[in-house]
Amino acid sequence: MPPVTATLIWILVALVVIGLYLSWTAGRLDRLHARIDAARAALDAQLLRRASVAQELATSGVLDPAASIVLYEAAHAARQAVEEQREVAESELSQALRAVFAEAQQVDAVREAPGGEEAALELAEAVRRVPMARRFHNDAVRAARALRRHRKVRWFRLAGHAPFPMAFEMDDEPPAALTGRAA
Protein backbone atom coordinates (compact mmCIF):
# COMPACT_ATOMS: atom_id res chain seq x y z
CA MET A 1 0.00 0.00 0.00
CA PRO A 2 1.52 3.37 -0.94
CA PRO A 3 2.09 5.62 2.08
CA VAL A 4 -0.23 8.29 0.69
CA THR A 5 -3.21 5.91 0.85
CA ALA A 6 -2.41 4.97 4.45
CA THR A 7 -2.26 8.63 5.44
CA LEU A 8 -5.53 9.26 3.69
CA ILE A 9 -7.18 6.40 5.54
CA TRP A 10 -5.93 7.73 8.85
CA ILE A 11 -7.22 11.20 8.06
CA LEU A 12 -10.56 9.68 7.14
CA VAL A 13 -10.72 7.70 10.39
CA ALA A 14 -9.86 10.82 12.39
CA LEU A 15 -12.57 12.79 10.60
CA VAL A 16 -15.18 10.12 11.28
CA VAL A 17 -14.22 10.01 14.98
CA ILE A 18 -14.40 13.80 15.25
CA GLY A 19 -17.72 13.73 13.41
CA LEU A 20 -19.14 11.14 15.81
CA TYR A 21 -17.99 13.14 18.82
CA LEU A 22 -19.55 16.31 17.45
CA SER A 23 -22.81 14.58 16.67
CA TRP A 24 -22.90 13.15 20.17
CA THR A 25 -22.35 16.66 21.58
CA ALA A 26 -25.09 18.01 19.33
CA GLY A 27 -27.37 15.30 20.71
CA ARG A 28 -26.52 16.35 24.26
CA LEU A 29 -27.25 19.96 23.43
CA ASP A 30 -30.50 19.03 21.75
CA ARG A 31 -31.57 17.14 24.84
CA LEU A 32 -30.67 20.09 27.06
CA HIS A 33 -32.73 22.46 24.93
CA ALA A 34 -35.67 20.07 25.15
CA ARG A 35 -35.20 19.99 28.92
CA ILE A 36 -35.25 23.79 29.08
CA ASP A 37 -38.43 23.90 27.02
CA ALA A 38 -40.13 21.39 29.29
CA ALA A 39 -38.93 23.21 32.42
CA ARG A 40 -40.09 26.54 31.05
CA ALA A 41 -43.52 25.12 30.22
CA ALA A 42 -43.76 23.74 33.76
CA LEU A 43 -42.72 27.09 35.22
CA ASP A 44 -45.30 28.94 33.11
CA ALA A 45 -47.98 26.53 34.25
CA GLN A 46 -47.10 27.02 37.92
CA LEU A 47 -46.93 30.81 37.63
CA LEU A 48 -50.28 30.91 35.89
CA ARG A 49 -51.79 28.65 38.48
CA ARG A 50 -50.53 30.85 41.29
CA ALA A 51 -51.90 34.00 39.65
CA SER A 52 -55.29 32.34 39.06
CA VAL A 53 -55.66 31.15 42.64
CA ALA A 54 -54.61 34.60 43.90
CA GLN A 55 -57.13 36.28 41.63
CA GLU A 56 -59.88 33.88 42.71
CA LEU A 57 -59.16 34.65 46.35
CA ALA A 58 -59.10 38.37 45.67
CA THR A 59 -62.55 38.31 44.08
CA SER A 60 -64.10 35.84 46.53
CA GLY A 61 -64.91 38.42 49.19
CA VAL A 62 -63.08 36.49 51.90
CA LEU A 63 -60.39 39.16 52.24
CA ASP A 64 -60.95 42.73 53.31
CA PRO A 65 -61.48 45.20 50.42
CA ALA A 66 -58.02 46.77 50.65
CA ALA A 67 -56.22 43.40 50.58
CA SER A 68 -58.52 42.24 47.79
CA ILE A 69 -57.62 45.21 45.59
CA VAL A 70 -53.87 44.85 46.21
CA LEU A 71 -53.96 41.14 45.45
CA TYR A 72 -56.25 41.48 42.43
CA GLU A 73 -54.10 44.21 40.95
CA ALA A 74 -50.89 42.16 41.33
CA ALA A 75 -52.43 38.91 40.05
CA HIS A 76 -53.95 40.67 37.07
CA ALA A 77 -50.66 42.38 36.20
CA ALA A 78 -48.79 39.06 36.46
CA ARG A 79 -51.19 37.35 34.08
CA GLN A 80 -51.18 40.14 31.53
CA ALA A 81 -47.48 40.99 31.63
CA VAL A 82 -45.54 40.87 28.35
CA GLU A 83 -42.44 38.71 28.31
CA GLU A 84 -39.98 41.51 29.22
CA GLN A 85 -42.10 42.60 32.19
CA ARG A 86 -42.90 39.10 33.39
CA GLU A 87 -40.16 38.72 36.00
CA VAL A 88 -41.01 42.06 37.62
CA ALA A 89 -44.76 41.43 37.59
CA GLU A 90 -44.41 37.95 39.11
CA SER A 91 -42.05 39.30 41.79
CA GLU A 92 -44.64 41.93 42.63
CA LEU A 93 -47.27 39.25 42.98
CA SER A 94 -44.96 37.43 45.43
CA GLN A 95 -44.62 40.64 47.43
CA ALA A 96 -48.37 41.23 47.39
CA LEU A 97 -49.01 37.67 48.59
CA ARG A 98 -46.46 38.11 51.37
CA ALA A 99 -48.08 41.40 52.41
CA VAL A 100 -51.62 40.00 52.42
CA PHE A 101 -50.75 36.72 54.11
CA ALA A 102 -48.18 38.14 56.52
CA GLU A 103 -50.20 36.96 59.54
CA ALA A 104 -51.33 33.46 60.32
CA GLN A 105 -54.76 34.85 61.30
CA GLN A 106 -55.40 35.93 57.73
CA VAL A 107 -54.74 32.39 56.53
CA ASP A 108 -57.04 31.01 59.24
CA ALA A 109 -59.76 33.45 58.15
CA VAL A 110 -59.52 32.16 54.59
CA ARG A 111 -59.66 28.55 55.79
CA GLU A 112 -62.82 29.20 57.81
CA ALA A 113 -64.73 30.66 54.85
CA PRO A 114 -66.87 28.21 52.85
CA GLY A 115 -64.61 26.48 50.32
CA GLY A 116 -61.69 28.36 51.86
CA GLU A 117 -59.88 25.25 53.03
CA GLU A 118 -59.40 24.18 49.43
CA ALA A 119 -58.43 27.63 48.24
CA ALA A 120 -55.81 27.97 50.99
CA LEU A 121 -54.43 24.54 50.11
CA GLU A 122 -54.25 25.38 46.41
CA LEU A 123 -52.49 28.65 47.12
CA ALA A 124 -50.03 26.99 49.53
CA GLU A 125 -49.26 24.40 46.87
CA ALA A 126 -48.84 27.03 44.17
CA VAL A 127 -46.46 29.23 46.18
CA ARG A 128 -44.42 26.13 47.02
CA ARG A 129 -44.19 24.90 43.45
CA VAL A 130 -43.22 28.16 41.78
CA PRO A 131 -39.75 28.25 43.43
CA MET A 132 -39.31 24.55 42.65
CA ALA A 133 -40.15 24.95 38.97
CA ARG A 134 -37.97 28.03 38.74
CA ARG A 135 -34.99 26.27 40.30
CA PHE A 136 -35.33 23.33 37.91
CA HIS A 137 -35.60 25.70 34.96
CA ASN A 138 -32.55 27.72 35.93
CA ASP A 139 -30.60 24.54 36.60
CA ALA A 140 -31.31 23.37 33.04
CA VAL A 141 -30.37 26.81 31.71
CA ARG A 142 -27.07 26.70 33.55
CA ALA A 143 -26.21 23.26 32.17
CA ALA A 144 -27.01 24.34 28.61
CA ARG A 145 -25.06 27.58 28.93
CA ALA A 146 -22.02 25.71 30.25
CA LEU A 147 -22.05 23.43 27.23
CA ARG A 148 -22.77 26.19 24.73
CA ARG A 149 -19.83 28.24 25.90
CA HIS A 150 -17.53 25.38 24.98
CA ARG A 151 -15.20 25.90 22.00
CA LYS A 152 -16.39 22.86 20.06
CA VAL A 153 -19.98 24.08 20.22
CA ARG A 154 -19.15 27.64 19.20
CA TRP A 155 -16.74 26.77 16.39
CA PHE A 156 -18.96 24.18 14.76
CA ARG A 157 -22.17 26.10 15.52
CA LEU A 158 -23.71 22.99 17.06
CA ALA A 159 -26.43 25.02 18.76
CA GLY A 160 -27.85 26.07 15.39
CA HIS A 161 -30.29 28.93 15.64
CA ALA A 162 -31.55 28.17 19.16
CA PRO A 163 -31.53 31.39 21.22
CA PHE A 164 -29.02 31.62 24.07
CA PRO A 165 -30.98 30.38 27.12
CA MET A 166 -31.83 32.94 29.79
CA ALA A 167 -32.48 32.23 33.46
CA PHE A 168 -35.79 33.34 34.96
CA GLU A 169 -34.97 35.69 37.82
CA MET A 170 -37.68 36.69 40.26
CA ASP A 171 -38.54 37.05 43.93
CA ASP A 172 -40.38 33.82 44.70
CA GLU A 173 -40.20 33.82 48.51
CA PRO A 174 -43.52 32.36 49.70
CA PRO A 175 -45.51 33.92 52.58
CA ALA A 176 -44.28 32.26 55.77
CA ALA A 177 -47.76 31.93 57.27
CA LEU A 178 -48.90 29.89 54.27
CA THR A 179 -46.12 27.34 54.12
CA GLY A 180 -45.47 26.93 57.83
CA ARG A 181 -41.91 25.79 57.31
CA ALA A 182 -38.46 27.20 56.84
CA ALA A 183 -37.47 27.52 53.19
Close Cβ partners of 91 (under 8 Å, ≥ 6 residues apart):
170, 171, 172
Interface positions, 32-51, toward other proteins (CB under 8 A):
32, 35, 37-42, 45-46
Q: Which is nearer to other proteins, 7 or 23 (CB)?
A: 23
Segment near other proteins (CB under 8 A), from 52-60, 83-91, 109-117, 121-129?
121-129
**CB 9, min distance to other proteins, A:** 19
Q: Of these, 12, 27, 112, 117, which contacts other proteins (CB under 8 A)? A: 27
**Quick one: which segment of 4-12, 16-24, 70-78, 93-101 binds other proteins (CB under 8 A)?**
16-24
Among 4, 66, 82, 183, binds other proteins (CB under 8 A): 183
Please state the closest distance from residue 84 (CB atom) to other proteins, in A: 22
φ, ψ (nearest 5 deg) of residue 67: -60, -40
Q: Rule CB under 8 A: which of 162-181 touch other proteins?
A: 180-181
The binding site for other proteins (CB under 8 A) comprises 19-20, 23-24, 26-28, 31-32, 35, 37-42, 45-46, 125, 128-129, 131-133, 135-136, 138-140, 142-143, 146-147, 180-183
